[in-house]
Amino acid sequence: MARCNLESCQRWRPDALTAHVGLTFDGRWYCSPVCLERVVRLRLIDAGQPRPYAYITPPIKIGALLIGQGAITKPEVDQALSMQQASGLRLGAQLRSLGRASAQQILKGLAAQARVRYLTAVNLGLVRQGPGALSRDTIRALGVVPFEVDDRRHLLKVACIAPVPRLSLSALRAVTGWDAGPFLVSDEQWPELLDSYGVTRTEDNPGPHSGFVTSIEDAAARVVQAAVEGRATRMIHTVGDPWLWVRLEGQQTTEDLVLVASATDLYSAHAVRFERPA
């Protein structure tokens, strides 16, 4: 005998009828789409953030790192810090505007600060193939662009800009099962990488269906719709700042749902903010 997985419902049906009545989702039976939607909504509201990608000690200040690397002198840092108060620029951008450091020197310093590697160029041909099979909406929300898959190490190499989006790296591991290897790139490279990801996918190698949702309720409704239509039998989800990422998996398709504050300003990984219901 099967009972509805919604605790406040608990309607039951003989096991022989569950294949023809109600819905089975994530291995549990629900007597109706309404009951499934209530459970999905609660799961999304209670979603917790993944554990940080890596524990790091407080970072060394970028100015001290650049001095240690021989890129600049202390008087040059002091001058940039003084002017930074009026300009509002990040220290690296201020040093570049003064001609005290190159883009590559700043990138190298930021990578050392974050304890990750960096790239001065990325193979756009690989990026266009959509490694990792993520949706383009997802990579924009997470602030990472996959550019290479290492099958032997089960590693997805991703490009990102500073600061390293460590929650996004943890989310990739939680949702896809792959570890993420971050590489910093310059702010100038970033828009082109975002535009290039997955543009040459084919019917034989498609990425997941995707879409932005506007609220927890909208996301829950989309999940139930996919379940009713037989497109999804399982849901994996995780939350960060500023996004909620829901992955729906079926026998033949994958669908990503992304909740952000705005779907129109995604070229800045720092401009969107996660919406949580009151």
Quick check: 232 pLDDT over 90?
Answer: yes
What are 120-171's pLDDT values in tens digits? Answer: 999 999 999 999 989 888 999 899 999 999 999 999 999 999 999 988 999 9
Nearest alpha carbon to residue 126 among 199, 59, 189: 199
**Distance from C-alpha of 49 to C-alpha of 211, rounded to nearest angstrom:** 21
Mean pLDDT of 237-250: 87
Mean pLDDT of 62-84: 85
**Distance from C-alpha of 6 to C-alpha of 31, rounded to nearest angstrom:** 9
Predicted model pTM: 0.79
The one-letter amino acid code at 78 reads: D
Superfamily for domain range 124-259: Type II secretion system, protein E, N-terminal domain (3.30.300.160)
> What is the Cα 104 distance to its own chain's centre?
26
Quick check: 219 pLDDT over 70?
Answer: yes
Quick check: 227 pLDDT over 90?
Answer: yes
Give me the pLDDT at residue 277, please.
35
Tell me which of 90 and 269 has the higher pLDDT: 90
**Which range (23-37, 39-53, 160-174) has the least confidence?**
39-53
Give me the pLDDT at residue 32, please.
92
**Distance from C-alpha of 77 to C-alpha of 83, rounded to nearest angstrom:** 10
Token reading at 195: 């535009």
Mean pLDDT of 81-106: 85
**Which range (71-75, 114-118, 226-230, 264-268) has the least confidence?**
264-268
Tell me which of 109 and 10 has the higher pLDDT: 109
Give me the pLDDT at residue 154, please.
93
Give me the pLDDT at residue 273, please.
33
